[in-house]
Each structure stands twice: as structure tokens, then as C-alpha cells.
Amino acid sequence: MTHHIKQLFWKGYVTVFIFFAAIMNSVSAVSHYSVPEEMEEGSVVANLAADLGLDVKTLNTRKMRVDVVANKKYLDVNKDTGELFILERIDREFLCPWKTTTSCFLKLDATIENPIRMFNIEVEILDINDNAPHFRRGTMHLDISESSPIGERFSLNNAVDPDVGTNSVKNYHLSSSEHFSIEIQTGRDGTKFADLILKKALDREQQAVHNLILTAVDSGVPTRTGTASIIVRVLDVNDNAPSFDKDKYVVDVMENSPIGSLVIKLNATDLDEGSNSDVVYSYSLYTSERTQNMFNLNPENGEIRVKEMINYEDLKFYEMEVIASDKGSNSLSGQCKLTIQVTDMNDNHPEISIKSFQSPIKENTPTDTVIAVVSVSDKDSGDNGVVDLHIPQNMPFKLRESSDNYYELVVSQPLDREKVPEYDITFTVTDRGSPPLSDNETMTLELLDVNDNVPQFPQSFYTIRVMENNAPGALLSSLTAFDPDLHENQYLVYFILEKEIANTSMSMLFSINPENGKLYALKTFDYEIEKEFLFHIEARDSGSPPLTMSHFDNSISLSVSLWDRDLLPCIRCSTDYRNDNPLDLLVLLIQWLSSPCEQNPIVGCLKAGCTASLHYE
């Protein structure tokens, strides 16, 4: 039984072997084709039937087919024409992602039946320049010390291009730079990369950052490029020493300056950065201990302040040397010299002394009259002891220097007590120190009145209307004049200037109160005898000598007119009753007429039942 089974096994093996042997004998040689990637679908690669010597008419009956080995079916055969065509667009970079070789093949098996025959086909996919070089990082940051030697290399990221051959990266270009260049290197796999080369020494203090552009170029047609930014940050080294604005400073300080007062703020700058630029200030060994005790130096900001009270009489100047050091690992330093000059302080106020002062004075005191003598002094010396004396402006006085530090106060303009009765004169003495000191003293100058103003009436002509048949002694009017002087110079006396009318003296007709100016009638007047009296009133003050309006041109004229009782002005009276008047009042319209009335209008109004208060002149 076992032997039978073994016979069957070997018999079957031989049968299978013979079958495969028959197939092997039916396989022809390999056919090679090449086609560019990215061809349009339906594009014909070759006439496969013609190349294989097959009858196109039998392709359908013999069931010709094409199988792609280990890939998608990118190609197929047209059984009607025998043409091998693109079934699906081919991307070479996707089909052959590894750039270990420049060749990329699709292997196909073409099979027909009756009898069975197989054909091996290789289609090479040719690369086209459909990809531009690109950098994995669009920006590269490099930190380079400013002390780096010329010729030092710095590696850069290379650009990649999925294409192969001439279509891959072949070269690099660097944007224009006076400090950097590039050198192209080729790796074992043919990859191109660039090294950044320092060709000129860097100086961070001149340029802290360099911005470069690196361009990768392929050799395809058309040429494609890709770029990346290179930002070079120059790292600082401590190669700059702190420096002051000046090598030597001279400053002034006032004696008795308050402790803590700022004398000067020194400033040293270091062009480096970080700790290399941090500056510390200190006194050098050449600065005396006395100076260091007198002034305090702040090590952080360079401020020098008063530490003890300064006295000009003890020492007039101080000298010191200040060092500025940075905090770099290898510290660098700079120095400057400082001279502090002590200025004598203006610590004495000027003094003023009134030697004589005449007050009060008459308002008519002549100009250039001396009314005061003043002396000034100052215990300081130099400009601190030079003094100037002033009085307020816009006053009718001036100062006149009579001798060293002596001044006279004189009248410079006419005085008028009625405008300004007194003056508060402030004498101010100021020295020329810095800052200036001053002192002042105020004296009051009173002006005495003189009788320099004539009495004045408000009007130059008065008219008084008097009804005839007046009572003797009746008050006709009150006349008032004004005199701006004082005391007896303003006490007024009123007079009637004598004049005769119809052989009758004015003093027989009228009288005036000499103290208050009230005018009275001394007799009863008759309109038919005399209708008007014209005479003059005079006002005289009580000064010495008295001033008066004694001339007719300066006195006032007075006209006394009489009215006839039988020729009263006529009043036209009319009534106006209004329905909307709740009190039923009578509204009168009174009109004066120039001609005598034919009837008594007042009586007419009274008969109408109206009540009126009549005022007339």
C-alpha cells in the first residue's frame, strides 16, 4: 500500500514538472519599453501585438491579457488593436520613492491562450522635472561668535528634490554678503549640500544679525529652484572696554550744598551686550581719602553726591579719578578724571538803610525835589557783594545815585493828590550773586492837599419856573457845586452876583443860603410886571487863597421864569372805558395844548367822574 502511494506521488510530480516545463518553453524573451511619467491616460506606449508577432484578429479569442507584477495595473492592452496603453497616470516618485538607483521599471506579464504563451515586458518610467527643490526647514538659525576665525565652516540643511538625475539638486547659490560664502559638497549618494564659510571677521557691535537667502537649483528643463532663509545671530565677546563721554570733567558745586545733593552723574558705555556691557564704577588709588570721604560714588549708576558739608574756606577744589569696569569674564575698564570746584555761596543778604524820608509833602512839590536818602550794603564779595536798588515802576519818583551805595529819591513827575493821595514806595535791594539775594523796605509817602481845584457846578445854565403870586420866602431851588480838594479847600460858599433890574437889586429879590446853595424868593412876583429874571450864582471855596467862579464866564447863569395863573396850559382829557377792566378804572389821555382852552378841561374831566393827578412845568 505504501509503495503504491509513493508511485502515485512521483507520477504526479513528474506530471506537474512536465506542465511547467511546457510553460517555460512557451515564454519568450523580455520586451523593453520606456515611457515618461505623468502621461495622459489612454496614451499608447507601443503596439504590443506587432512587437510580439501576434495576429491582432485572434487576440480576443485567445484571451490576451496583461498583468502588472507587484503593482497597480497602470497599463493594459487594447485587444482590438494590440496596442499597450496608459490605463492610469503614473507618478515615478510615488512608484519608486527610493533614490538608490536612477532607473524605475514596471514589470508586466502578457498572456495568451490556445496555445498558452507568456511574454515578459519591462516598461521603464522616465523621470521628468516636475518637482522643485525644497528645504525641510524654511528658516535656518545660526549662532556664530564674533570671534570666529575667517574660513570657519558651518553646516547648512540641504535641499531635497524627489526627481533624479539632472532633475535633482545640482547647485546652491547664496545671496550677496561681504562676510559669508558657500562651498558645495557632494555626498556618497550624490546628494548636494552646502557649507557656510566665514570670509570676513564679524563684529557684533557693527552688525548683530545677518539675513541671508540660500537657493537650491536643479538642472531640469525648465530649471526649478527652492529657497531658505538663513538668520545668523552674532554672539558677543567681551572685546570692548567701557568708555566715558570725556576724559576729564570739571564741575562746580556750591558750598554748604545739602548732604545727598547730586554733583554729577558719570556715564560710561560699553558696546558689548549682556554681562559684558554691565558697568561698575569705583575710585582709583589716585583718589585721596579726604575726597572719598567728602563725596559718595554710586557703583551702579555713576552718581557722585555730597557726603559731608562742603566749606569753601577749607578747600576750594577736589580732584578724583573714576574707573568704569565691565562684568565680563575677562573684565575690561576705562577711566576719567574729575575736578570739583567749590563755589563761594552767596550767604549774606544785602542791607538797606533809610537815612532820611520826608512825609508828608505837598502835592505841588516841584519835580527833582529830594524826598529821601537811602544807603545799601552787602557783606559778600565779588558779584555777591554788588547790589542794585530799585523802586516800583509807574511811580512819579526816581532814584539818583549820589555816591557809593547812596541813593536819593526825587520827584520825577507832577503830583496830584486828587488822583493818588498817597504812595507805598518799596525800596528793593538785590545783589548779583547766583542765586541773587534781596531785601526790601516800604515807606508810605502822604500828599498834602493844596487848593488847586476851582468849584464846579454840574450845569452852566439853570432855568427855574415859578408861579406868580408866590409866597415871600418860598424855596425856589437847591444849587450844589463840587470841589475835589480837602478840608477848607472844599468848603464852599454860595453868592448871588449883584445886578439891578428895574432899579431893584437882585439881593432884594432873591437870597441864597451861602452854606448849602438853597435859593429863596424874597418877595411876591407878578407876571404882568416882570416875566423873567436872569442873574449869576457864584461858588467860592474856603482855601487860602480862595478859588471862586468870580467871572461870568466861570459862574452859572440862572433864569427864573414866571407863569400867569390865568394862562395855565390847556389839558385835553379823554376817557377810555375798557370792558375787560375788572376795576372799571378810567384811563385818561392828557395832552398839553399850546393855545388857551375855550372851556376848562380839568372841570370837564371832573364832571366825567375821573380822578387825575396833574403834574406840569
Q: Which residues of the chain have pLDDT under 70?
A: 1-29, 69-70, 99-101, 381, 500-502, 549-617
DSSP character string of 261-327: -EEEE--EE-SS-GGGT-EEEEE-TTS-HHHHHHEEE-TTT-EEEE-S---TTT-SEEEEEEEEEE-
User: Cβ–Cβ contacts within 10 Å for residue 355, how many?
Assistant: 11
Assess whether 37 and 96 both reside in one domain: yes
In this structure, the answer to whether residues 9 and 105 fall within a common structural domain is: yes
How high is the pLDDT of residue 554? 45
**397 close to 367: Cβ distance less than 8 angstroms:** no
**DSSP for 191-235?**
-EEEEEEE-S---TTT-SEEEEEEEEEE-SSS--EEEEEEEEEEE
Taking the C-alpha atoms of residue 115 and residue 26, their distance in angstroms, rounded to an integer, is 9
Q: Structural domain tally of the chain? A: 6
Half-sphere exposure of 518 (CA within 13 A, CB side): 8
Residue 428, domain CATH: 2.60.40.60
What is this structure's pTM? Answer: 0.44
Give the pLDDT score at 107.
87
In a domain? residue 616: no
Amino acid in the structure at residue 468 = E
User: Does residue 181 belong to any structural domain of this protein?
Assistant: yes
Of 89, 105, 126, which residue sits at a domain end? 126
Residues 563, 580, single domain; the answer is no
Residue 19 sits in the same domain as residue 106: yes
Does residue 455 sit within a domain? no
| Pairwise CA distance, residues 324 & 522, whole Å | 113
pLDDT score recorded for residue 190: 79
Tell whether 6 and 100 lie within a shared domain: yes
The reply to whether 141 and 200 lie within a common domain is yes
374-395: pLDDT as tens digits? 999 887 767 888 899 999 988 9
Residues 466 and 557 in one domain: yes
How much is the pLDDT for 453?
Answer: 81
The verdict on 11 and 120 lying in the same domain is yes
For residue 613, being part of any structural domain is answered with no
Q: Residue 466 belongs to what domain range?
A: 461-567
Same domain assignment for residues 276 and 301: yes
